[in-house]
Chains A and B, each alone.
Chain A
Amino acid sequence: MSEGLPILEIEGVFKRFDATQALQDVSLSLRRGEVHGLVGENGAGKSTLIKIMTGIYPADQGVMRFDGEEYLPHDAAHAQSQGVAAIYQEPSIFPDLTVAENIFIGHQDRGWLVNWKAMTSEAGDILRRLDIDTDPSMPAVGLTVAGQQAVEIAKAMSLDTRVLIMDEPTAALSAHEVDRLFSQVRHLKEAGVAVLFITHRLDELFATCDRISVFRDGEHISTRPRADVTEESLVREMVGRDPSEFFARSEHPEGEVMLRVDSLDLAGKFADISFEVRRGEVLGFAGLVGAGRTDVALSLFGIHPADGGSIELEGETINITSPHAALAHGIAYLSEDRRGLGLSLNQSVSANITLATLVRYTTRMGLVDREAEQADALALSKRLDIRTPDMETPVENLSGGNQQKTMLAKWLNAQPKVLILDEPTRGIDVGAKADVHKYIDELARSGIAIIMISSDLPEVLAMSDRIAVMREGRLRAIFDKKEATQERVMESAVGVS
């Protein structure tokens, strides 16, 4: 066995998307039979690297070598046939087909016919070898996420996979299932497979990995054997971007409490969330993707109302059961999912801006007053500097930054008391980002209480008056601007003890 020798080498890879340099001169080498951990903040370039490794995106520059030969996958199936496969948090299986078919579909090399007997027994062999207790002749429809992942691991084994990428595979698993997954990973390791293991959980990283690499802002920062890594050293390397590139908030007096949330609960999503936001204050919500920040926001906006706890607005207890109720109380939510939830893409800029407040433009006849609608839309688009040919242009024709501003305009038009911004600057260019920061500051000064969820640590630090940090559905800390540093916030977010 040529154990320990590199199987996949990545050298000098660059990748750029519009305004964002997603990967910059990244080099990484995976060895046979090693479990290689990969960590980094959201946006560090991990997912982009996976997509390049599995042939979903081409690299702009740089080379990859597989077993010494140049490796240029042109799609996921091609990468698989070369021996590189990936398993994601949400596996993609065929629910109606049997487990055995799921393992072998796409690469049964038995000619025209399906040999059910051979297929089922081979699938059984692979599952047994991995200690997976699943009947290969049953349809996959009833499998849990863990079971589905196990099927994907079995599929990878049947494909003679040499490099297996696991992208946050434990995010949806119970502790018991995680243990089983780890034992499957050990089987893979013994078989000489190189596993690239991506996770946000430091304990898992230390429990499984032989080497750990850190990415930050699209750059490869370090690769070290596990023994040379501590939780503190990881956090230090994960953070460290200079916040000075950001707009500086102006000084302002402290206002009275606008929104008070007390022990908010939602089963399976978050528990015991208590905080308050003042008039004119920006409360940042930091944490890793999946920590439950968006779930809290969706509860406050009435999309998934909380099971327990109370919400007070200007000293009065309110009950939010629907987005309609939230808006009536003056709580607005700017979704992180701009295309899915935030905007009606094929509708015009003006229609989007007035969508949430259409009642205001409705005449006694029940018709929409188009002139008033247009006038308000125009005023807001001027104020926010939305660059569009005219108010009737469909939003989908605008750039990401201008779409984001349109969404902001929509909620400003609702004249909210509390505005929840979820990843307000994700995926938009630097100029638009600076604009959005400026408006957030203006809005706060006009007396609105703002909750800003952001996975961009320097952004949270620069824009917030206080910073709440969530991890695994709970509020772990609230820092004052003065005491917050990137390291302290990141330590709370990943759970360094």
Chain B
Amino acid sequence: MRPDRIKELTLLGIIAGSVIVFGLLVDGYLSGRFFNRVTTSVVIVAILAAAQALVIFSRNIDLSVGSTVGVAAYLTADFLASNNWANPVVAMVIAMVVGAVLGSFNGLLVAYGKVPAIIVTLATLALFRTLISLYSGGANVLAGDLPDWVLGFNNVTLFSIAGFDLRLVFLITLAVVVILQWSMRRLRAGRRLYAIGSNPDAARQASLAAPRLIMFSFVGAGGLAGLAGFMFMVRAGTISATAGSGLELEAVAAAVVGGVSIFGGSGTIVGAFLGAILIDTLELSLVRVPEVSEFWRDAALGVLILAAVILDATLQRRFTRRLTREVRGPDAADRQTSQVAMSTVTEGGIGDA
């Protein structure tokens, strides 16, 4: 089995396990209400985790997604406040275009400016935030000024079985995850993005058009952050200049817990999505256990991230060892002395042939 699949199944198992444990601990835990709460609250971080994974695959990172959410949410809400005719589709497109524009700014600097992504997006994290402050002049967009559909959007339910609702926002999130997962697996561009993160030097040698693909991944991540901004708006209603602050770290945490290697090259969109669900489930569940204070809830998240990283490293090592045994011949050691030929020395350097 592919290691990515193993990771996804492990996560699914952990999610199921923790739901069972909490079900035993907390009375009335396994209810439609709780399911509905998780599936509506997870959408923002789930979409952002997918966005984050998209850039982490190529050994980059986007710390500006939280600010992008803020800009997209604010501009979209502001537009809706003065254009009450606009429907959800128009609003969603506006939010995603705003996000994509901001993402292309990151992408240009990282892909063509060759500035490390962590620096670029740390800067734009602050810059984008300033942008809304300037634009808003400190004023909030009030929920009362928005079209009527906005506040109901979060609760639009497609169908419901025994109190378990399938909400529209969750369906949109699922669609995003499925489309992205398919693209990363089946599109050539997707595989190349993994390749770039897996070994940037080899990618350059193979002429994989890395800058263009990295640019696309940042535009995509920005567009998704814009969609998350739309989700933020329909949930919050009233939008301030601080909308979405801090979401970037939740997104990175969800992706990493979901098995996306921070060094690029491995992990899946589905994994990042499951990571977001696990974190959200735990957060919402721990609230129900009165013995656990808020302080310990944060600690639990920290422990979870570390556990995910350690598990990932262990799995990777196991896997490597097993494969190595399979491939190596039985007499790999019979020329030990010749192995010394591979010292740190390599022929090369200018003028040395």
Show the binding face of A for B, using Cβ within 8 Å. 17-20, 22-23, 40, 42-49, 75-77, 89-90, 92-97, 101, 105-106, 108, 110-114, 116, 133-134, 137-139, 141-147, 168, 171-178, 180, 200, 215, 218, 268-271, 289-292, 294-295, 298, 336, 400, 426-427, 472-474
Whether, in the assembled complex, B293 has its beta carbon less than 8 Å from a beta carbon of chain A, the answer is no
Tell me how far the C-beta of B140 lies from the nearest C-beta in chain A, rounded to whole angstroms. Answer: 44
B residues near A49, Cβ cutoff 8 Å: 353
CA gap between A137 and B206 in the complex, in Å: 20
Within 8 A of A (CB), among B238-279: 261, 265-266
Picked from B188, B266, B326, B344, the residue with its CB within 8 Å of the CB of A114 is B188
What are 21 A-B pairs at a CB distance below 8 A?
Answer: A42-B353, A47-B347, A48-B353, A92-B202, A94-B195, A96-B198, A97-B194, A105-B191, A105-B195, A141-B323, A143-B327, A171-B342, A174-B339, A268-B339, A290-B341, A291-B340, A294-B344, A427-B349, A427-B350, A472-B338, A473-B340
A292 touches B343 (CB 8 A): yes
The segment from B20-28, B100-108, B314-322 that touches chain A is B314-322
Whether, in the assembled complex, B160 has its beta carbon less than 8 Å from a beta carbon of chain A, the answer is no
B337 touches A76 (CB 8 A): no
A47 touches B319 (CB 8 A): no
A residues near B320, Cβ cutoff 8 Å: 141-142
Tell me how far the C-beta of A457 lies from the nearest C-beta in chain B, rounded to whole angstroms. Answer: 14
A18 touches B342 (CB 8 A): no
A residues near B340, Cβ cutoff 8 Å: 268-270, 290-292, 295, 472-473
Picked from A142, A145, A298, the residue with its CB within 8 Å of the CB of B322 is A142
A94 touches B207 (CB 8 A): no
Picked from B198, B316, B324, B328, the residue with its CB within 8 Å of the CB of A94 is B198
A residues near B348, Cβ cutoff 8 Å: 47
CA gap between A215 and B353 in the complex, in Å: 10
B352 touches A175 (CB 8 A): no
CA gap between A19 and B349 in the complex, in Å: 13
A294 touches B345 (CB 8 A): yes
B332 touches A177 (CB 8 A): yes
Picked from B197, B266, B351, the residue with its CB within 8 Å of the CB of A19 is B351
- 4 additional A-B pairs beyond A97-B191, A141-B316, A141-B320, beta carbons within 8 Å, are A142-B322, A177-B329, A289-B345, A472-B337
Considering the complex of A and B, which 7 residue pairs feature the smallest CB-CB distances, nearest first?
A142-B323, A20-B351, A473-B340, A77-B207, A96-B265, A106-B206, A45-B353
CA gap between A168 and B334 in the complex, in Å: 19
A174 touches B189 (CB 8 A): no
Given contacts A46-B353, A92-B205, contact A171 B331 (CB under 8 A): no
Show the binding face of B for A, using Cβ within 8 Å. 2-3, 185-192, 194-195, 197-199, 201-203, 205-208, 261, 265-266, 316, 319-324, 326-353
Tell me how far the C-beta of A242 lies from the nearest C-beta in chain B, rounded to whole angstroms. Answer: 19
B351 touches A139 (CB 8 A): no
CA gap between A99 and B348 in the complex, in Å: 28
A42 touches B198 (CB 8 A): no
B residues near A177, Cβ cutoff 8 Å: 329, 332
CA gap between A143 and B328 in the complex, in Å: 8
Picked from B194, B199, B202, B324, the residue with its CB within 8 Å of the CB of A144 is B324
Tell me how far the C-beta of A30 lies from the nearest C-beta in chain B, rounded to whole angstroms. Answer: 18
Tell me how far the C-beta of A384 lies from the nearest C-beta in chain B, rounded to whole angstroms. Answer: 22
CA gap between A106 and B191 in the complex, in Å: 10
Picked from B192, B324, B332, the residue with its CB within 8 Å of the CB of A142 is B324
The winner among A108, A112, A137 for most chain B CB atoms within 10 A is: A112
CA gap between A200 and B187 in the complex, in Å: 43
A residues near B195, Cβ cutoff 8 Å: 94, 97, 101, 105
Picked from B316, B335, B351, the residue with its CB within 8 Å of the CB of A174 is B335
The winner among B185, B202, B327, B329 for most chain A CB atoms within 10 A is: B327
CA gap between A200 and B345 in the complex, in Å: 14
Given contacts A94-B199, A106-B206, A142-B322, contact A175 B343 (CB under 8 A): no
CA gap between A77 and B339 in the complex, in Å: 31
B residues near A111, Cβ cutoff 8 Å: 188
Given contacts A89-B346, A96-B198, contact A291 B341 (CB under 8 A): yes
CA gap between A46 and B335 in the complex, in Å: 26
Tell me how far the C-beta of A14 lies from the nearest C-beta in chain B, rounded to whole angstroms. Answer: 13
B351 touches A472 (CB 8 A): no
B205 touches A77 (CB 8 A): yes
CA gap between A55 and B22 in the complex, in Å: 62
Tell me how far the C-beta of B193 lies from the nearest C-beta in chain A, rounded to whole angstroms. Answer: 11
A176 touches B341 (CB 8 A): no
The winner among A46, A105, A200 for most chain B CB atoms within 10 A is: A105
Return the chain A residue nearest B336 by Cβ.
A268
